[in-house]
Each structure stands twice: as C-alpha cells, then as structure tokens.
Amino acid sequence: MGRVAAAGAVLVALVALGAPPAAGAELSAVFQEMVKSECHFINGTDRVKFVKRFIYNREQYVHFDSDVGLYMGDTPYGEKVARYWNSDPEWMAYRRDAVDRHCRHNYELSTPFLVERRVPPSVSISLVPSSSQPSPGLLLCSVMDFYPAEIQVKWFQGQQELSEHVVATDVVPNGDWTYQLLVLLDTPLHHGVSYTCQVEHISLEQRLSRHWDPPDILLDATRSKMLTGIGGFLLGFVFLALGFGFYLCKKGSWSSPNTGFPEGSPEMVFLACPPCQELKNRSCPPHAHGFLEEASPFNHGVKDPAK
Ligand SMILES: *[C@@H]1O[C@H](CO)[C@@H](O)[C@H](O)[C@H]1NC(C)=O
C-alpha cells in the first residue's frame, strides 16, 4: 500500500485550570494544553517520520520532527523550551528512538486491523432530476462504505469511457473507518445505449460494474415525441393538399358573375369548390355554375357583401 500518513497513535492531554466550576456556574477561564504524537508511514515502515506537537490554547509553540532530530520552537516561548529540551542528550536519544519504539512497533501491532483493513464498496446507480440536462436527468453512481480511501470510479457509455462529463465529490470520510464517493454523469442520456459505472478498489478481486439501461419511460417519451412529429407532418400535409386544391380551383376556368361575391373572394371559393369535389377532380369542375346552387346552403352565416 502506498502512503499511510498520520495513522499513528494520538496522545491528547487536556488540562483545564482555574477554579473548579460549581454546578451550573460559568467557567472564569479555560487553559488547554495539548500534546499530539504523530507517526507518518511512507511506504509501510520503510520510511517513518515521528512528529510531536505541543499546543497551548490552540497555538502550537514547540514541536519535535524526527527528520530533523531536534525540538523546534514555534513561538518565542517555544524556542526557550526547545533549547532546554535539546540540551539534554539522554532525553533527545529517547525522543529520536520514538520512530522505532513507538511508530514501527505500533504499526506491526495494528497492521491486521488497520493496514490490512479492506471493506468493499457497495455501488448503485440512481437517476436524479436535473436543470442542466433534459429528461430523464442525470445518472449518479453512489460508491458507499469502502476502506481504504484510494478508489477509482469511471463512467462508460456502451464501451466508451466518459471522462469529460464526470463530476465527483471528494472521498468523504464517514467517521467510522469507511469512506464514500458520489460520481455524477453530467451528459444527456441516449436510449438504446447502456451506461456503466465501474469501480476499482483494493478490496475487490476484479472491477465492479453496475449497468443502467434507459427505462421504458424514456423510450416511451421518445416514441411519443416521434408520433407527435409524424402526426404533425400528416396534418400539415393534409392542409397543404387542401390549400393546393383550392389554389388550383381558384386558378381554373371557373368564373361567375352571379354569385353575389367578388371573384376570388374566400366565400366564393368555398362555395365553388368543396374539398371533396376538388380532390376528386384535381381541378375545378367545368360545371361550377350548377354546383354553386347546390352548395349555397353552406353560405348560411357567411356575410353577403351584396346586402
Ligand atoms: C517500499 O519499501 C520496500 C521495502 O519495504 C522497498 O523494497 C521498496 O523499494 C519501497 N518502495 C518505494 C517506492 O520506495
């Protein structure tokens, strides 16, 4: 395993001074001294760094770094302290030995449950509504409760990896020695294509894949859009044919001075050439005069410009 940083034991000493508070009474002041011991394991126990920090009221004032082998002051007071501690060779030998005595020793002890801890992720895909993408929305790959934190998650459309439209959270520690990660696929979804969330993790013998196929709803939506399109086209075509028919009719040999309407007015066209007649004959019948009489009942409600 690569880099295990700061997985060492942490020693915390808290000292609150001042008058012991009576029940319910406010503290007059709080003074806090904190000491932290950190073990940094770089490539197992191959390279180990020991750091000890001394903090007073949230301010680090002196620390020991095994890479340096000395205490170093972080404040003027800390510098005095460092000089004092560094001047004691026996004490310093003991401190420098901490990488072995404390860090490497604890590493071996905790290896079975800490270094070798493996928890495989549970992976699921869900569809989330989105304002940035059209229906049905975005695909979310939830990679939950795995350990250690190192993980690789990829989205595929069919066989092709989609790396450009992927948005991921940081790897989030759950606080119980597991992590989680959410990876969103921010691209329009196409039907007829399978989507795959693929996870690689040290706990898995082989890659874990979850597939998602566009559901029937998406298919139905596409189909209904298609039907709407076809319907619209047919309707448009019918009107076009009708209009063209009327146009031919108007343009034809027919003229009538005795309809009471000016030639070419909509009323006249309507009376002269009902669609059925027009479509049957492909042009206006030559006997349009006679036809006009029969069709006159259609004229009810049509304004008669002669009156
Ligand atoms: C990691 O440590 C091993 C010995 O524990 C060593 O053989 C290997 O070269 C080290 N790898 C790196 C990258 O330092």
**What was the pLDDT predicted at 215?**
73
pLDDT digits (tens, 9 = 90+) for 214-238: 876 655 555 666 667 777 778 777 7
Of 202-216, 221-235, 288-302, where does the model show the most confidence? 202-216
Section 35-62 average pLDDT = 96
pLDDT digits (tens, 9 = 90+) for 110-163: 998 988 999 999 999 999 988 877 777 899 999 999 999 999 999 999 999 998
What pTM was estimated for this model as a whole? Answer: 0.55
More confidently predicted of 271 and 62: 62
**What was the pLDDT predicted at 190?**
85
More confidently predicted of 49 and 5: 49
Model confidence band, residue 5 (pLDDT cutoffs 50, 70, 90): very low
- Tokens describing residue 302: 């049509």
Task: In whole angstroms, give the CA distance from residue 149 to residue 188.
Answer: 30
Task: In whole angstroms, give the CA distance from residue 258 to residue 227.
Answer: 47
53 burial level (CB within 10 Å; 0-12, 13-18, 19+) = middle
**What was the pLDDT predicted at 254?**
46
- Tokens describing residue 37: 């011991």
Task: In whole angstroms, give the CA distance from residue 215 to residue 240.
Answer: 38
Task: In whole angstroms, give the CA distance from residue 287 to residue 144.
Answer: 83
**Ligand 1 binding site (Cβ under 6 Å of any ligand atom):** 43-44, 46
- Residue nearest (by alpha carbon) to ligand 1 atom 10: 43
Distance 200 CA to ligand 1 centre (A): 23
Distance 43 CA to ligand 1 centre (A): 6
Section 177-203 average pLDDT = 94
pLDDT digits (tens, 9 = 90+) for 235-276: 777 778 887 777 776 765 444 444 444 444 444 444 444 444
- Residue nearest (by alpha carbon) to ligand 1 atom 4: 46
- Residue nearest (by alpha carbon) to ligand 1 atom 6: 46
More confidently predicted of 3 and 56: 56
Distance 146 CA to ligand 1 centre (A): 26
Q: Answer yes or no: are the C-beta atoms of 150 and 192 closer than 8 Å.
A: no
Distance 46 CA to ligand 1 centre (A): 6
Distance 4 CA to ligand 1 centre (A): 13
- Give the DSSP letter of residue 158: T
Indicate the average pLDDT of the chain: 78
- Residue nearest (by alpha carbon) to ligand 1 atom 3: 46
More confidently predicted of 264 and 179: 179
- Residue 165, pLDDT > 60, answer yes
